[in-house]
Every structure is written in C-alpha cells, then in structure tokens.
Amino acid sequence: MAQPPKYTRGKNFADDFGHETDHSALNAELDKTSNSINDIRANLAILQADDGRLRPDVVTYDSLDDQIVQDLSAAVRSDVQNELDRAEAAADRAEAIAAIIDIDEAEKIAEQVKKDAAAAASCAVSASADALSASQSAALAAERAAIASEMLVKGICTGTGDALVFPGEVALKDQLVLQIRVPETNRTATPSIRIGGGIYPLRNSNGGALKPGSIRLEQQIVFHIDGYFAVDMMNATESHTGVARIATLDEIAAGVDDSTIITPGKLRQVITFGTTDVTPGVTPLATGSLYLLYE
C-alpha cells in the first residue's frame, strides 16, 4: 500500500492581478490536491469498512506487535520461572540431605525432584499452548462473526403484500437471510419481492406456492440458489396457516399439548373400539383411560 503523495502548493496566486488569473496553474494545483485526496481515500478503504469499523483481515495474529505477544505470555513465563525456582530449591535440599542420609534415599529424592521439574515444564508448555489456542480461537470467532453479519440484511419493505419492494441494493448469495417488515400479509399464492432491478418469487421452504396470509408483518426470508426466497413459516394456529410438529403417543395420551397435530395413523393406535353399542354422548373406547366425544 503506497503512501499518498504530499501536496505542496506550486504557485502563489496572490502574485497575479485580479484580472490575470493563471488558469493552467490553478488547474494544476487542483489536480495535485485531487490526487492526494483520492489516494488517501483509496488507502482508507483498504483499512476501514463502510460501517466505520476496521476490515476483518486488517488485524491478524501475524500483525500483532512482539511486545503485545510478550505481554500476553508474561504470566505464563512467570509461572514457569516459579516452578523452575521450586525445582532448583528442591535439588539444593536433596544435596544437603544426601550428606546425612543413606545414599539410596538420596537417589530416590533426586529422582522425584527430576519428575517434579519435568511435570512443571510440561505444565508451562501446556499453558503456553492454551494461550496460543485461545488467541487463535478468538481470531476465528471474529472471522465467523463477520461472515454471519454479511449473511443477514434488514429492511422495511414498501409496496403491497403480493408485490413487496426492498430498499436498496443487496448482493444476493445462497442462504442469505433478509429480515423484513412488510406493510401487509400476502393475499395470493404468488407474492414477490423486488430487490434492486430484480423481482424474485416468495415460496415455502420446499419451493412450493404459499397460501394467502402466510407472510407475517415481521418475517425472515432466505434466498435460494434457484432464484427464489423461502418464507420462514410461522406456527400453525386455528386462524393462521403455518407449520406444526406431529405429536407423540405419550403427548396424545397426556392430552395437554395444544401446539402439535395428530395423524390418522397415531389416532388409530390410541383408539380401540370396545363397543358396538354407540349412543350420543360420551362413550368409553378403551378401558380405563380414553373416551370419544361426539354428537
């Protein structure tokens, strides 16, 4: 990244009379000013993103100052030195003991001292490796966060529920998520959204047509590589079309969950017809627990 050129004025226009402006010299001064400003802007764009923050690839592990790395590892080095000091002190004690106790016992103490020193060194190496791993993990997390932020775009749509208009330009890519606010829900099965110069259909997560009322006023839609946006369906209720999980046999028997659905196959497993004498009202179908309500 070359440094921008320094601007130095080449002419003093006060030397000219008011009606004798040197237009060529004036143009030359403005050109030099423009070159300096444009080079400064180009260099700034390498370092700074449009939101004012540093670009993710500006500060890397390799670019950290040696002093910063040394400061981060100062505590580790201190612990290593403490362990080495303890080992040396133990060795000194072993030598003193060897003069007054059996030589075999002294050899055992010396061997233990060696093991303690090796363990201390191993702990120091492990701590240093953990510090490096934590630094690399932090850099990776920052990189992933930057990628995730590029895959989520928010905006307030105009238009109608069947012909939405998203503000501004968006670089579309597979699995890009738009978090939108819409003026109204869709009235037809073929709603669309205009982004920049393109119009893209809105479909369900399987690529099929939506039902009227499927789009919420606060909605996430996901761009698909085949050229459409998949609508994140809401949970089904008595008044809204949506998605619902199939209930388990235990949930059906408990009779408490009101957010799941029962399939004919599950219903057949829990209902056993125990009588052929059916009269209007409440009739037991399985001895001891399940009843069928009908009119």
The structure tokens 């073929």 sit at 190
**What is the percent of the chain where pLDDT is above 70?**
73
CB 202 within 8 A of CB 186: yes
- Say yes or no to pLDDT of 221 above 50: yes
How many angstroms separate the most distant Cα atoms in the chain?
Answer: 119
Write the single-letter amino acid at 61.
Y
At 119 the pLDDT is: 80
Question: What pLDDT shows up at residue 78?
Answer: 80
3-27 pLDDT, tens digit per residue, is 777 777 777 777 777 677 787 888 8
Altogether, the residues listed in the chain come to a count of 295
**212 or 94, greater pLDDT:** 212
Would strands 281-286 and 158-160 be described as parallel, antiparallel, or unpaired?
Answer: unpaired
Q: Which two tokens stand for residue 60?
A: 């890397």
Q: What is residue 276's predicted lDDT score, i.e. its pLDDT?
A: 45
Number of other residues whose CB lies within 10 A of the CB of residue 223: 21
For position 242, what pLDDT does the model report?
Answer: 62
Taking the mean position of all CA atoms in its chain, how far away is CA 2?
34
Segments making up each domain of the chain, as ranges: 1-39, 62-147, 154-231, 249-294
The mean pLDDT of 97-106, rounded to a whole number, is 61
Per residue in 126-180, pLDDT (tens digit) is 766 666 666 666 656 555 555 555 678 889 999 999 999 999 888 888 888 888 9
Q: Are 75 and 94 in contact (CB under 8 A)?
A: no
d(C-alpha 134, C-alpha 115), whole Å: 28
Best CA proximity match to 219, nearest among 171, 157, 134: 157
Write out pLDDT tens, residues 39-76.
888 888 888 888 888 887 777 767 777 787 777 778 77
The confidence score (pLDDT) of residue 5 equals 74
Residue written as token pair 């209902």: 271
Is the per-residue pLDDT at 278 higher than 60?
A: no
**Mean per-residue pLDDT, 191-204:** 91
Kindly give the residue spans of alpha helices, DSSP state H, lying in the chain.
23-47, 66-72, 74-98, 103-150, 249-254, 264-270
- What is the pLDDT confidence band of residue 191, given thresholds at 50, 70 and 90? very high
The SS3 of residue 120 is helix
Of 231, 233, 229, give the one whose Cα is nearest residue 176.
229
Among 117-126, 127-136, 176-185, 259-268, the range scoring the smallest mean pLDDT is 127-136
pLDDT band for position 1 (cuts 50, 70, 90): low
Quote the mean pLDDT of the chain.
76
Collapsing DSSP states into helix, strand and coil, what is residue 163?
A: strand
In the predicted structure, residue 267 carries a pLDDT above the cut 50 = yes
Burial class of 269 by CB neighbour count within 10 A (0 to 12, 13 to 18, 19+): exposed
Residue 261's beta-bridge partner residues? 246
